[in-house]
Amino acid sequence: MQADSSLDHLYARSLDGSEDRFHHRNGVFYPSGFALIALKEEKLQSAIDVLMEGGLPEGEITLLRPEQMHQITQQSQHDAGLLSRIVSAELKQMTVLEQLAGAGHHFLLVRSTDQTADLLHTVGARAGVSKGLLFRSLAVEELPVDKETIPGTSPFGVNEVIRTQDSDADMSGEHRP
């Protein structure tokens, strides 16, 4: 399926690291202050509609094609500093993103603010999101999704939950679709 041409203007033209949305920390892609949402191509318009209906300006949304995410993850694997290699949690997230890109997922990179936090939690459950990550200054937060399905083997180890699971995020209250 070819991406809807009406969305072409939202795709990143460059992955230039000088832009805050493509920031790296210790060599690894870490867009602090942004959410990264992985979803199948046919779900892109639905997710964008939910975000814009919630008041997010179109200028705060950047789309990434699978091959662009592949480039980002490969660069992160190559450029990772010693600390990133020792701790490795962020590199493991890059492996998950690479698996999703390999399965054809597209990605929404969305600026996150205090005003958009609830909206970002809602979009995961309402728009068929496969994986959602919120990059905070000091940690990466999992965004709730209806059902997480990650292709491939887990990079995290034997104690990780099954790769296809119902979200364990609290979806009660205003976050429920």
What is the tens place of the pLDDT at every residue in 38-81? Answer: 999 999 998 999 899 999 998 899 999 999 999 999 988 888 78
Average pLDDT on 103-123 reads: 87
Backbone angles phi, psi at 55, to 5 degrees: 100, 5
Cβ(66)–Cβ(104) under 8 Å? yes
In 3D space, the residue among 13, 35, 48 whose CA is nearest the CA of residue 109 turns out to be: 35
Q: What is the pLDDT of residue 28?
A: 86
Q: Rounded CA gap, 35 and 107, in Å? A: 10
Average pLDDT on 1-17 reads: 72
Contacts of 131 (CB under 8 A, 6+ apart): 37, 38, 96, 97, 100, 105, 145, 148, 150
pLDDT at 117 over 90: no
Average pLDDT on 16-36 reads: 81
Q: What is the pLDDT of residue 2?
A: 44
Please tell me the pTM assigned to this model.
0.78
* Tokens (6 digits) for 39: 């979803």
Contacts of 116 (CB under 8 A, 6+ apart): 54, 55, 56, 60, 110
Q: How far apart are the first and last CA of the chain?
A: 27
The 10s digit of each residue's pLDDT in 121-170 is: 888 777 788 888 999 888 888 887 766 667 666 665 544 544 555 545 44
Cβ(76)–Cβ(30) under 8 Å? no
Q: Rounded CA gap, 40 and 20, in Å? A: 25
No. of helices (H) and no. of strands (E), the chain: 5, 9
The strand pairing partners of 141, in sequence order, are 134
Strand positions, DSSP E, 28-146? 28-29, 34-39, 61-64, 106-111, 129-135, 140-142
Q: What does the buried/exposed string (b/e) look like for 108-140 if buried means 16 or more CB atoms within 10 Å of the residue's CB?
A: bbbbbeeebeebbbbbbbbbbbbbbbbbeeeee
Q: What are the sequence ranges of the domains in the chain?
A: 11-175
Confidence of residue 174 (pLDDT cuts 50, 70, 90): low
